[in-house]
């Protein structure tokens, strides 16, 4: 336990050292301050951004695009994954399809999504959802495979209902792997939505980052990068904690 705290402390120290070297580089003016603003300026801009209505609205737009995409695609992907493993004939069709889906660089197909859905909320949602689809589906397949058949058979032999089998055996076995898939899917979904926003859009935080970059407003741009990066890291760590917590029963 003490070791874990020491490790946390050292990690904080590493981050502080990065900030410190950044401060030193910009204080000594090794780099044009126009290109590398001082940390103080960036953090001041960050505080200002958090009070700007446009920025909060941009975060809201991007956040709701990601949320809607995940809410739509995650149940579909999980169901497809479970179904394909349970009906093992289907797995032969679905598994290569999903593997191929993860190998295809979906991001470059953005123009097709724009041709179909136009530019706007729907296009971002669909584009983000396709980014998450395959990874969640593959994890759902792995999760379903990790359910021991001996347990489900025994349960059914003793007269357990389908609901009981799914809630008492499938759910606890699948949850940690599903949460891992959800986490990976979330990261890919955010990336997809941001790419779509940075490519063409009128709203969202990706659009704002583009605007700040194009106008060489680097303090705001770097503050925005820290803001978006920080938010995704926080969400990722929350999901990781849930994943760890849900798998804890296995260890005992």
Partner 1 sequence: MSGTRPARGEADEKRAFKPRGVLRFFAVFGVSLAVWEALVRLDAISSLVLAPPSSIVQAARQDGAQFLAALGTTAYEIFLAVLISWGVGIVLGLLIGILPFVRDVLTPLLDGAFAIPWVILYPLLLAWFGIGSPSKIAFGVIFGVLPVMLSTISGIRSIEARYFLLARSFNASRRDTLTKICVPLALPSIVSGLRIGAGLAIIAVIVGEMLGSTEGIGYLIGFYETQLYTGHVYLGLLLALLFALAGNAFLGYLERRVPKAR
Applying CB under 8 A, does 160 fall inside the site for partner 1?
Answer: no
Nearest distance from residue 121's CB to partner 1, in Å?
Answer: 19
Applying CB under 8 A, does 148 fall inside the site for partner 1?
Answer: yes
Structure tokens at 210: 């583009």
Applying CB under 8 A, does 244 fall inside the site for partner 1?
Answer: no
Pick from 25, 110, 122, 160 the residue near partner 1 by CB under 8 A. Answer: 110
Map residues 6-35 to x or -, x wherever contact with partner 1 holds by CB under 8 A: -x--xx--xx-------------------x
Largest CA distance in the chain: 75
Q: Which of 126, 148, 139 is nearest to 95 (CA)?
A: 139
CA–centroid distance for 191 within its chain: 8
User: What 3-state DSSP class applies to 33?
Assistant: coil
Nearest distance from residue 196's CB to partner 1, in Å?
Answer: 10
Pick from 24, 67, 116, 241 the residue near partner 1 by CB under 8 A. Answer: 116
CA distances from 165 to 173, 176, 212 (A): 11, 17, 54
Q: Rg for the chain (alpha carbons), in Å? A: 22
In the complex with partner 1, the residue whose CB is nearer, 55 or 177, is 177
Contact set for partner 1, span 175-234 (CB under 8 A): 177, 183, 187, 190-191, 194-195, 198-199, 206, 209-210, 212-214, 216, 218, 221-222, 224-225, 228-229, 232-233
What's the CA gap between 179 and 248, in Å, rounded? Answer: 13
Beta-carbon-side half-sphere exposure of residue 188 (alpha carbons within 13 Å): 23
What's the CA gap between 111 and 33, in Å, rounded? Answer: 37
Return the number of other C-beta atoms located less than 10 Å from residue 157's C-beta. Answer: 8
Binding site for partner 1 (CB under 8 A): 7, 10-11, 14-15, 35, 85, 88, 91-92, 95-96, 103-105, 107-112, 114-116, 141-143, 145-150, 177, 183, 187, 190-191, 194-195, 198-199, 206, 209-210, 212-214, 216, 218, 221-222, 224-225, 228-229, 232-233, 235-237
């Amino acid at each position: 336990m003490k070791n874990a705290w020491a490790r946390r402390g050292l990690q904080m120290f590493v981050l502080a050292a990065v900030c410190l070297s950044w401060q030193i580089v910009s204080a000594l003016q090794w780099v044009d301050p126009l290109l590398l603003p001082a940390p103080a300026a960036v953090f001041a801009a960050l505080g200002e951004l958090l009070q700007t209505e446009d920025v909060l609205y941009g975060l809201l737009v991007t956040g709701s695009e990601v949320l809607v995409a995940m809410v739509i695609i995650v149940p579909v992907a999980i169901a497809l994954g479970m179904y394909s493993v349970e009906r093992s004939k289907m797995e032969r069709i679905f598994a290569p399809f999903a593997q191929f889906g993860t190998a295809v660089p979906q991001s470059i197909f953005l123009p097709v999504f724009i041709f179909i859905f136009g530019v706007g909320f729907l296009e971002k949602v669909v584009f983000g959802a396709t980014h998450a689809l395959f990874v969640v589906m593959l994890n759902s397949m792995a999760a379903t495979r990790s359910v021991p058949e001996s347990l489900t058979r025994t349960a059914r032999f003793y007269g357990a209902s389908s609901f009981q089998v799914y809630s008492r055996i499938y759910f606890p076995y699948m949850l940690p792997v599903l949460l891992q898939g959800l986490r990976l899917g979330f990261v890919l979904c955010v990336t997809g939505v941001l790419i779509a926003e940075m490519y063409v859009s009128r709203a969202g935080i990706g659009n704002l980052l583009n605007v700040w970059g194009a106008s060489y407003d680097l303090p705001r741009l770097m503050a925005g990068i820290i803001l978006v990066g920080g938010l995704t890291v926080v969400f990722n760590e929350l999901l990781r904690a849930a994943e760890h917590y849900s798998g804890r029963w296995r260890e005992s």
